[in-house]
Amino acid sequence: MDKICPICNKLYEFKIPCPVCGKIMWEKGRNEEYLDDYTANMAIRSQSGCNHIFYCSRCGKMESICINNVIM
Ligand SMILES: [Zn+2]
Ligand SMILES: [Zn+2]
């Protein structure tokens, strides 16, 4: 069985409310793509989840959220 990230594989969209203002945040891509060199050095990749950046268009808050992988 494979464990995959539902966002990277476009299984469904995540609706993450902004912790500051409550607006639904936009998914901006994976940490590694967004921050390239910085996170590449941090060995952020884990087997259990995939880190994605979420951005709030109302207040500008950015959050890195670990999405649990699902078993296909
Ligand atoms: Zn992912
Ligand atoms: Zn916000």
> Which of the ligands is closest to the CA of residue 24?
2
Ligand 2 mean position, distance from CA 67 (Å): 19
- Mean pLDDT in order along the chain per 10 residues (72 residues): 89 90 94 58 60 95 92 84
> Which of the ligands is closest to the CA of residue 26?
2
Which pLDDT score, from 0 to 100, does residue 34 have?
56
Ligand 1 mean position, distance from CA 24 (Å): 18
How many CA atoms are closer than 13 Å to the CA of 72, on its beta-carbon side?
8
Which pLDDT score, from 0 to 100, does residue 42 have?
47
Ligand 1 mean position, distance from CA 38 (Å): 17
Instruction: Label residue 4 exposed, middle or buried (CB < 10 Å: 0-12, 13-18, 19+).
Output: middle
Which pLDDT score, from 0 to 100, does residue 71 have?
87
